[in-house]
Structure 1
Amino acid sequence: MSTTESASNYDSLEQMPVRQLLESINNEDKTVPLAVEKAIPQLELLVNATIERLQQGGRLFYIGAGTSGRLGVVDASECPPTYGVPHGMVIGLIAGGDAAIRKAVEFAEDDEQQAWKDLQEYDITNKDIVVGIAASGRTPYVIGGLTTCRENGIATGCIVCNAGSAVAAASDYPVEVVTGPEFVTGSTRMKAGTAQKLVLNMLTTSTMIRLGRVKGNKMVDMQLSNLKLVDRGTCMLMDELQLAKPEAAALLQKYGSVRAAIDAYNNGLPS
């Protein structure tokens, strides 16, 4: 039996008071970063492979089902507003299509052929890299997609939460974060899902930094899509260029991004 499906370390959960439930869940959650830490050498290989392909004009695809698929879609959707990259650079695909983001599509994950069909809709090539996300490491949708990618010379990686899985075997760059039994037996939306989210954060954040999408520690290419982000961008300019708020705000409005405003100011362009 896979460790993610093994029996919880706790029992009689329905008899626990709320405080005990919360403290017990929290105690289990504390083990997740330690499990991620052990997988950093594997993750480094995947990040480097991803950077190389994106530098050459390739794309990063995620394929997954259920919670794993949703986490991939979330990570992909957050890259453009955070780092100002094109929407087609990081793409999340979920078994069952976009409808499965909100509501489970029965048996969608059991189709070994569908992931490759989904990827073909994006004209996938060997410039790209495909990362399968599967807590169990045995999801047919993911295994089939990764296997066919390798047959077509496309680089593959994965994020799984069991050791020695079929998904890892189908990956050039497997990342195995062994999180152990869940608080509620088999509920991989908990520790396994948390581990996958942490790894996805590390993967795309490290990649975007190495692609030059961060200056110092600031998101200088972020999209100014709401007032909070406009204010954040203004504060970045105030700090970087030692400007008063009105001048920084005017500069940001004129040039439309923190990076463009900094470049314009440093090059002596009119504000």
Structure 2
Amino acid sequence: MRDSFIGTGVALATPFTKTKEIDVEALKKLVHFQIDNGIDYIVVLGTTAESATLTKAEKKLAKDTIITENAGRLPLVLGLGGNDTKQLVEDIQNEDLEGFDALLSVTPFYNKPTQNGLYKHFEAVSKASPLPIILYNVPGRTGVNMSPVTVTRLANDFKNIIGIKEAAGDLVQAMQMIKDTPENFLVISGDDMITLPMVLAGGSGVISVMAEGFPKSFSQMVKFGLERNVEKAFNLHYKLMDGIDLIFKEGNPAGIKAVFELKKIATSEVRLPLVEASKDLKSELSHFIEQMK
């Protein structure tokens, strides 16, 4: 099962209509766009999906649509996290996990738990989950950084914790995790800009935002990196760099949704408190897309 998550995963966005409803047809198109262009697996209802703004009914609609369109072709990972451990355990126990191959669970946000608190939280998640778990460390969003020591403890103590999406943007921290965790533990980049250095250091791939808009180029870069074809990998990395900066310039997923609009996949609509990408950013992205052709 671990091998299913080596390579390029995408954090799938939720397309909206001009009236801010889920655009089911655009979501179907987005799923096929990933599959047809070499992505290895899909993450459903993560941060990029604007899941914090979706109702329970909308989350079910998104999940059902993605499962149906995927039709078993790629592994699916469900984002399921929270900052109330007891509630999260109940959510895992009550969630319909049919069609999913793993959970992606973010560190508790806002509470700022200690490292021991993080360990205890994921101990409870591990005991509750019938699926393998990929931890998600993203201190820029959550306000807490999970240390390599804590990650290593969890990796050694709980067999169903199979990896981490490491998005601290700290290559040294990522390398420490790669060095200290068990050999089959997956250290997955959650930062598009340092994906290739992490892969070359021994990482397992990426869960990407950029790859969702440019799946063929990004997944090929990761593939070359895993094969240690360094020259070809870096050629693609440097080609993608400016675009990576642009898609995060005004926040995620506003940037990547602007790419969808320019590529005629979906609208660039987001839900408040996020706002749509500016005209200036769309112009910059349009120029970048032309360069990528």
Give me the TM-score of the superposition, normalised by structure 2: 0.32
Give me the TM-score of the superposition, normalised by structure 1: 0.34
Larger Rg: 1
**1 or 2 for the larger relative contact order (CA 8 Å, sep ≥6)?**
1
